[in-house]
Amino acid sequence: MSKLTIPVGETDHAQGPAAALVTLVEYGDYECPYCGAAHPVVKAVQAAIGDELRFVFRNFPLAQLHEHAMLAAHAAESAGGQGEAAFWAMHDRLFENQDRLDLRSLISYAQDLGLNVGQVQRDIEAETFRPRIEHDFRGGVRSGVNGTPTFFINGLRYDGGVDADSLTVAIRRASRTSAAPTGLASGHRLD
């Protein structure tokens, strides 16, 4: 089983409490149809698990397969430069509009979200956030990511079904393991 080689840190885009029992990391591509299908699943899992879950998104644009994946990653990161809430608003907008990720559409989304449109356009055109995107990508490669979406639950690669039920079960299992007293595996009794 692959492990996450770069631990979740302060610079990651995260939703949920830092002290959550479970951290779910997704390596994703905004133009990938499988990531698009996983987006509402992640939202459902977040709603079901609540504050026991921290969700982290990392860029893994498959630029050779998806013409606009890198542009979209730049748009999300530029939005993130204007605040974490702006990142997540753009993140959602990109997945909700996967068929329209050209530069004109990205600028339109920035305007709709009330972002500094000029800054977003400059960031995209100058590839301001390329180092961050490449850092995410290299970390994914080192962690064994070879397609999108790829999920890690508490640092271990999750290879189960990408549906709300399967993912929720896996996260609840990880939550019980995380909550077990030191030295005890989940399911062992103290008597």
Total residue count of the chain as it appears in this document: 191
Residue 2 lies in a domain: no
User: Does residue 182 register a pLDDT over 50?
Assistant: no
Q: What SS3 class is residue 94?
A: helix
pLDDT at 168 exceeding the cut of 90: yes
58-87 pLDDT tens trace:
999 999 899 999 999 999 999 999 999 999
CATH number for the domain that contains residue 119: 3.40.30.10
The answer, yes or no, to whether the previous bond of 181 is cis (omega within 30 of 0) is no
| Mean pLDDT, range 108-118, rounded to an integer | 98
Per-residue pLDDT at 17: 96
Distance between CA atoms of residues 131 and 40, nearest Å? 28
Strand order in the sheet with 156-158: 13-15, 53-59, 22-28, 150-153, 156-158
Asked if residue 165 has pLDDT above 50, the reply is yes
Query: Does residue 190 lie in a domain region?
Result: no
Q: Supply the range of the domain harboring residue 98.
A: 13-179
- Whether 188 is in a domain gets the answer no
> Is residue 123, in this structure, part of any structural domain at all?
yes
Which of 129, 72, 80 shows the shortest CA–CA distance to 105?
72
Q: Where are the alpha helices (DSSP H) in the chain?
A: 33-49, 69-80, 84-96, 103-112, 117-126, 130-142, 164-179
Sign of CA dihedral 179, 183, 189, 191: negative
Task: Examine the pLDDT at 135 and tell me if it is beyond 90.
Answer: yes
Q: pLDDT of 30-62, one tens digit each?
A: 999 999 999 999 999 999 999 999 999 999 999
Most distant CA pair in the chain, distance: 64
Q: Is residue 184 part of a domain?
A: no
Q: Tell me, yes or no, whether 67 lies in a domain.
A: yes
Mean pLDDT of the chain: 93
Number of domains in the chain: 1
Classify residue 7: in a domain, yes or no: no
* H/E run at residue 183: none
Task: Name the amino acid, one letter, at 151.
Answer: F
Distance (Å) of CA 84 to CA 4, 55, 88, 169: 23, 13, 7, 28
Q: 81, 119, 125: which is closest to 103 by C-alpha?
A: 125
Question: pTM here?
Answer: 0.92
Does the residue 8 lie in any domain? Answer: no
Q: Is the pLDDT confidence value at 180 over 70?
A: no
